[in-house]
Amino acid sequence: MVNTKVTLSGLTLDNPVIPASGTFGFGYEFADIYDINILGSISCKGTTKDPRFGNPTPRIAECSVGMINSVGLQNPGVDKVISEELPKLAKVYKKPIIANVSGFSIDDYAYTCEKMDAQEQVGILEVNVSCPNVHNGGMSFGTTPESAAAVTKAVKAVTKKPVYIKLSPNVTDIVSIAKACEEAGADGISLINTLLGMRIDLRTRKPVIANKMGGFSGPAIFPVAVRMVYQVYEAVNIPIIGMGGVATARDVIEMMLAGATAVQVGAANLVDPCACPNIIKDLPAVMEQYGIENLTDIIGGSH
Amino acid sequence: MNNSIYTIVSNEKIAKDVFKMILEGDTSSIKTSGQFINIKLDGFFLRRPISICDYDDKTITIIYKVVGQGTDVLSTMKQGEKLDVLAGLGNGYDTSKSGSSPLLIGGGVGVPPLYNLCKRLIKEGKKVSVILGFNTADEVFFENEFKALGADVYVTTADGSHGIKGFVTNAFDKVDYTYFFTCGPMPMFKAIDAAAKTSGQFSFEERMGCGFGACMGCTHKTKEGNKRVCKEGPVFVKEEIIW
């Protein structure tokens, strides 16, 4: 009997498989398809202080073995998330969840995180620092060690639960940013967010996506994600949630060998609503195939 | 919604670039006319959402136009081949508002979902009129199929090569109707919205990520708030649409 349990900052998960934010809504849509309680946890739809419609459509473009999205953080705002979405999820999911939070100023992040931190359902806060800072010419918080650290500090000051910073891969040195977050008090790192990408329609000669560019995800970016998880694992002593193109149980093991303690599955959910349960079902056999008894034993095993 | 494997019963060309495919498999999750299915194709990451033209307890009929590489591959598939399909997606047409003589208006590949709707309305005892709009005569399909159901059918072509010359709205003066149901391109929708004397329902198309409400890729702003074309839609009521 293999052991698939892993522990993130004191929170023990039955398995390391977590649907990634933005690909799973607030979970309950999937509860019609399978018992979502088999999931290790759920990273909920990115939540902001105020309601957001997001970007104009088309928001989606297909790529070879992947896709681009430019949804633009559509969500009903933190108050409605707490009063409407989380109670709906609580009816069908009994484990602690990961609250994914975005903001456009340091105060935004602190405000939303403080509210989400107070929710009993929330086990971990995952802070998406890929958003543009409206007070700094729209530059993403996640692109410099200083601004990523500033968000981390502000959130840590108003919360009690573990804070994971979700990093953008669209940077020259992800390691320095991860280290800055760790020094600022982050309890863990999630990586990677989507890669900035673009497609152009040959017929119209215009970008496919209304917002021109968007986040590239799917199995095509898996090697980039593995590389960055590997690099960050070498540099920090806090747990890593690895993500980016994960679609199979073998991918989960590879991501963990690179240094991830848990793994998120994103774009795969959109193509195959049963991607996560299939990975969870396959995991024990793949572990046995590679002689893995305890999944925790292989974290960072490639270093 | 259900996800299962379907077998291709037939796949034939019925007009210029337009194919009709019959799939055999689980149809239990299809509840009404105007819903859609989402088809996985080898070599393509995202599924292809296609409206349901007709269905019974073991088959689904779809009609699709070859508009890109995915539908091109679909058009080459043969009888007996298998497809991974998510079926029974979206909210279809609500026939309870139709009144005694509903009008169905289809433009191009917007025609297919109206077929099962026409069948349903006629079964409900309604006097159904249908306007089918195409660009040219070689694009026309399902004129006789709608007639065979017992509907009054008018065909328009933009170049006048078949039926009434012009757009679907050029046939409006020929019909008396209590309500309308439509599916087709956006310019046609705007013309219908301006010309229609009654309320009605529009079935929208949008680029989708998942097709079942998870990714928020297809959200439209409506007067009733944000709605996902794949989940709350694809059918929206005239009064809630923001043009």
CATH number at residue B45: 2.40.30.10
The DSSP letter of residue A54 is -
Check pLDDT > 80 for residue A131.
no
Minimal CA separation from A210 to chain B, in Å: 11
Task: Identify which has the larger pLDDT, A133 or A283.
Answer: A283
- Cα distances from A297 to residues A2, A263, B144, in angstroms, run 11, 15, 67
Asked if B45's CB is within 8 angstroms of A63's CB, the reply is yes
Q: Is A25 helix (H, G, I), strand (E, B) or coil?
A: coil
Which is nearest to A166 in space by CA: A206, A203, A194? A194
C-alpha torsion angle, residues A93, A97, A102, A107 (rounded to 10): 120
Best interface-test mutation with A: which of B45, B186, B227 has the largest number of A CBs within 10 A?
A: B45
Give the end of a domain, one of B36, B67, B89: B89
Query: Measured at the alpha carbon of residue A82, what is the angle toward residues A78 and A83, in degrees to the nearest 5?
Result: 115
* Closest residue by Cα to residue B203 from B137, B138, B120, B112: B112
pLDDT at residue A49 is higher than 80:
yes
Q: Has residue B20 been placed in a domain?
A: yes
Domain-located, residue B120:
yes
If pLDDT is split at 50, 70 and 90, which confidence band does A139 have?
confident
Are the beta carbons of B234 and B34 closer than 8 angstroms?
A: yes
| Range of the structural domain that residue B64 is part of | 2-89
For residue B214, give the nearest of A65, A218, A269 by CB distance. A269
User: Same domain for B18 and B111?
Assistant: no
Task: With H, G, I as helix, E, B as strand and everything else as coil, classify residue A127.
Answer: strand
Domains of chain A (ranges, CATH numbers): 6-56+70-197+216-298 (3.20.20.70)
The verdict on A69 touching B (C-beta cutoff 8 Å) is: yes
Q: What percent of chain B has pLDDT over 90?
A: 100
Contacts of B207 in chain A (CB under 8 A): 57-61, 208
> Cα angle vertex B92, ends B89, B97, to 5°?
165
**Averaged pLDDT, A212-238:** 97
Residue A256 has a pLDDT of: 98
B85: in domain:
yes
Per the listing, tokens 């152009």 go with: A200
Measured between alpha carbons, how far is B112 from B52 in angstroms, rounded to an integer?
7
The mean predicted confidence, pLDDT, of chain A is: 96
Whether B111 and B27 share a structural domain: no
Which residue in B26, B219, B223, B242 has the most chain A C-beta atoms within 10 A of its own C-beta, making it the best mutation to test that interface?
A: B219
Neighbours of B87 (CB within 10 A): 24
Rg (CA), chain A: 18
What residues contact residue B183 under an 8 Å CB cut-off, 6+ apart? B34, B51, B106, B107, B110, B111, B112, B113, B114, B202, B203
Asked if residue B129 has pLDDT above 80, the reply is: yes
Could you tell me if B60 and B148 lie in one domain? no
Distance from CA of A93 to the nearest CA of B (A): 16
Looking at residue A135, its pLDDT comes to 74
Tell whether B83 and B117 lie within a shared domain.
no
CA distances to A44, A185, A285, B38 from A154, in Å:
21, 10, 43, 44
Instruction: Give DSSP secondary structure letters for A70-100.
Output: -----B--HHHIIIIIHHHHHHH--S-EEEE
Beta strands in A177-261 (DSSP E): 188-191, 195-197, 200-201, 206-207, 214-217, 240-243
Q: How many Å lie between the alpha carbon of B226 and the closest alpha carbon of chain A?
A: 7
- B145 lies in the same domain as B193: yes
The verdict on B99 and B187 lying in the same domain is yes
What's the rounded Cα separation, in Å, for the pair A93 and A97?
Answer: 9
**Mean pLDDT of the A39-47 span:** 97
pLDDT at A67: 97
Average pLDDT over all residues of chain B: 96
| Partners of residue B217 in chain A, C-beta under 8 Å | 57, 59-60, 69, 71
Predicted local distance difference test score (pLDDT) of residue A95: 98
Among B5, B29, B40, B46, pick the best mutation site for testing chain A contact (most A Cβ within 10 A). B46
Residue B208 inside a domain? The answer is no
Predicted confidence (pLDDT) at residue A28 exceeds the cutoff of 80: yes
Same domain? For B61 and B104 the reply is no
Please tell me the pTM assigned to this model. Answer: 0.94
Using CA coordinates, name the residue in chain B closest to A210: B207
How large is the average pLDDT for residues A296-303?
98
Mean pLDDT of A70-80: 96
Q: Is the pLDDT of residue A133 over 80?
A: no
DSSP A194-213: PEEE--EETTTTEESSTTS-
Please give the pLDDT value at position A111. 98
Residue B102 lies in a domain: yes
Domains: count for chain B: 2
- From CA B1, how far away is CA B132, in angstroms rounded? 30
pLDDT band at A162 (very low <50, low <70, confident <90, very high): very high
Q: Are residues B77 and B103 in the same domain?
A: no
Q: Is residue B61 part of a domain?
A: yes
User: Has residue B105 got a pLDDT over 80?
Assistant: yes
Counting residues of chain A whose pLDDT is more than 90, the rounded percentage is: 95
Residue B173 and residue B188 in one domain: yes
Residues B106 and B182 in one domain: yes
A23 reaches B (C-beta below 8 A): yes
Residue B39 lies inside a defined structural domain of this protein: yes
Residue B224 has pLDDT above 80, yes or no: yes
Chain A contact present for B186, CB below 8 A: no
Q: What is the pLDDT of residues B161-197, one digit of tens each?
A: 999 999 999 999 999 999 999 999 999 999 999 999 9
- The 3-state DSSP class for residue A3 equals strand
Residues B67 and B101 both lie in one domain: no
Reading phi first (left if > 0) and then psi (alpha if -120 to 50, else beta), residue A283 is in alpha
Q: How far apart are CA A246 and CA A40, in angstroms?
A: 15
> Of B73, B89, B105, which residue constitutes the final position of a domain?
B89
Indicate the residue among B184, B203, B222 that finishes a domain. B203
B34 and B113 share a domain? no
Residue A146 confidence (pLDDT): 96
| Cβ(A28)–Cβ(A88) below 8 Å | yes
CB contact under 8 A, A270 and B46: yes
Half-sphere exposure at residue A156, Cβ-oriented, CA atoms within 13 angstroms: 17
Which of B210, B211, B205 lies closest to B235, judged by CA? Answer: B205
Answer whether residue B58 is part of any domain: yes
Using pLDDT thresholds of 50, 70 and 90, give the confidence band for residue A132.
confident
